Amino acid sequence: MVDLVKMGEQAVKAKYDLQKMQEADKNNALSRIADLLVEREAEILEANKIDVTNAEAAGMAPGMVDRLRLNNERIAGMAEGLQQIITLPDPVGEVLDTFERPNGLKIIKKRVPIGVIGIFYESRPNVTADAFGLCFKSGNAVILKGGSDAIHSNIAITNTIRKALTACGCNPDVIQLIEDTNRETATAFMKMNQYVDLLIPRGGAGLIKAVLANSTIPVIETGTGNCHIYIDEYADLKKAIPIIINSKTQRIGVCNACESLVVHKNIKNEFLPMLDKALKEKKVTVHGDAETAAILTDCILANEEDYGKEYLDLILSIKTVSSLEEAIAHINHYNTKHSEAIITENQAHAERFLNEIDAACVYVNAATRFTDGFMFGFGAEIGISTQKIHARGPMGLKELTSYKYTIYGNGQIRE
């Protein structure tokens, strides 16, 4: 078993070293790392080949093997990702507030790195470089725990990054990989709140649940999206169809894809047949309530479970409602607080929906697919938070920071 305490101590030491680095030096290191990833492509691909061969021998599904596989283009993509992070402004040191107290104390609230961040992820080895890049630029040391399937790839990528860091005179422990892939090591790591300030699990519901159940480190939940679109009685139906088709089918395996429609009964007779045609063209199966099934051909009757499901597939559930209020209550009951949309031309309805829906991102007349760090202009993201603590929605560099109060006195004591 790896020495997790030693790794924790090294990460803490590295965090202090990193926090003293200037932006230009961090950018220089990122550039050097990007170059070395491309230079050492052959070694990385060789390591990846072991993972892919093992996975295929173990009968891994082709879709999963594809996530695991690296090639020239994907390594170039990792390097390009780091180059993009160089162009993003360093958030550290930003003055967030300044105030003076009646006793003369001057208080400055400043943005600072979080410290040590743990990232749990599954089989995509490019996460190793992407997650490191965002943490490094925002001044955080990172300890990575990737999936066992990708272990040889992750070791090769991590070693390349550490080599480049050393060459730049940086402490290479700003990135450490837990090389043990057994569950006991993962669980032990989740208890290391003495060293690790934040844990971000990136992966499926099973991984996130395990982390929440075991971690004593603060966790940011990411990624589960049971996203709805509500077609209001005042919707422009011609606007609704492309938004729904885009949200459901542009990419089906992502957390900001639409999984469920809520349709006002006053428009169902006109709208559902229009929708049916568009969905059939894209081979989307509908699981609808009785009122939907009475209108749509080939509609499977939805059960309670359907409304709570993130299909990540060419399936869409449909629920009809009698009022905006009922739509809001339905969505707030079943959603995962990710992204929700209303299609309406009625301003009052739009505002009520925006205010009363409990989600990170609430849209009027736009696709749910825009909940994304790049689409928001953050440049990149470490994940999409579905909880309310610390950060909500797309998490970019700023969301990887905390703050501190620095206070200037001249002898003040408390009366």
When binding is defined by CB under 8 A, the residue of 20, 57, 184, 304 that contacts a copy of itself is 20
Do the Cβ atoms of 140 and 116 come closer than 8 Å? Answer: yes
When binding is defined by CB under 8 A, the residue of 10, 268, 369, 382 that contacts a copy of itself is 369
376 contributes a contact to a copy of itself by CB under 8 A = yes
54 contributes a contact to a copy of itself by CB under 8 A = no
Q: Cα 202 from chain centroid?
A: 7
Amino acid 387 reads Q
Question: Which of positions 315-334 make contact with a copy of itself (CB under 8 A)?
Answer: 332
Question: Could you tell me the smallest distance in angstroms from the CB atom of residue 27 to a copy of itself?
Answer: 20
| Number of residues located near a copy of itself, criterion CB under 8 A | 64
Do the Cβ atoms of 327 and 296 come closer than 8 Å? Answer: no
Binding span for a copy of itself by CB under 8 A among 35-43, 243-251, 258-266, 269-277? 243-251
For residue 38, which phi and psi values (nearest 5 degrees)?
-75, -40
Q: How buried is residue 250: exposed, middle or buried, by Cβ count under 10 Å (0-12/13-18/19+)?
A: middle
185 contributes a contact to a copy of itself by CB under 8 A = no
111 contributes a contact to a copy of itself by CB under 8 A = no
When binding is defined by CB under 8 A, the residue of 47, 52, 243, 380 that contacts a copy of itself is 243
Of residues 71 and 194, the one with the C-beta less far from a copy of itself: 194
Question: Could you tell me the smallest distance in angstroms from the CB atom of residue 335 to a copy of itself?
Answer: 13
99 contributes a contact to a copy of itself by CB under 8 A = yes
For residue 200, which phi and psi values (nearest 5 degrees)?
-120, 110
Q: How buried is residue 198: exposed, middle or buried, by Cβ count under 10 Å (0-12/13-18/19+)?
A: buried
275 contributes a contact to a copy of itself by CB under 8 A = no
Distance (Å) of CA 233 to CA 85, 346, 351, 375:
44, 9, 15, 29
Give the chain's length. Answer: 415
| Cα dihedral 257→258→259→263 (10° resolution) | 180
When binding is defined by CB under 8 A, the residue of 36, 107, 293, 300 that contacts a copy of itself is 107
Question: Could you tell me the smallest distance in angstroms from the CB atom of residue 215 to a copy of itself?
Answer: 9
Query: What is the full DSSP assignment across 124-183?
Result: -THHHHHHHHHHHHTT-EEEEE--GGGHHHHHHHHHHHHHHHHHTT--GGGEEE----SH
Of residues 185 and 402, the one with the C-beta less far from a copy of itself: 402
Of residues 180 and 236, the one with the C-beta less far from a copy of itself: 236
414 contributes a contact to a copy of itself by CB under 8 A = yes
Distance (Å) of CA 90 to CA 16, 18, 194, 234, 403:
17, 13, 27, 44, 14
Do the Cβ atoms of 371 and 338 come closer than 8 Å? Answer: yes
389 contributes a contact to a copy of itself by CB under 8 A = yes
Distance CA 341, CA 117 (A): 33
Question: Which of positions 68-87 make contact with a copy of itself (CB under 8 A)?
Answer: none
242 contributes a contact to a copy of itself by CB under 8 A = yes
Q: Which two three-digit tokens encode residue 99?
A: 């105030």
Question: Could you tell me the smallest distance in angstroms from the CB atom of residue 200 to a copy of itself?
Answer: 11
Of residues 317 and 336, the one with the C-beta less far from a copy of itself: 336
377 contributes a contact to a copy of itself by CB under 8 A = yes
When binding is defined by CB under 8 A, the residue of 219, 263, 296, 395 that contacts a copy of itself is 219
Distance (Å) of CA 219 to CA 198, 206, 213, 242:
6, 15, 10, 36
Of residues 215 and 292, the one with the C-beta less far from a copy of itself: 215
237 contributes a contact to a copy of itself by CB under 8 A = no
Q: Which two three-digit tokens encode residue 224?
A: 């589960």
Of residues 115 and 225, the one with the C-beta less far from a copy of itself: 115
Binding site residues, a copy of itself, CB under 8 A: 16, 19-20, 99, 101, 105, 107, 114-115, 193, 197-198, 212-213, 216, 218-220, 236, 239, 242-243, 246-247, 250, 332, 350, 354-356, 358-367, 369-370, 375-377, 387-390, 392-393, 402-414
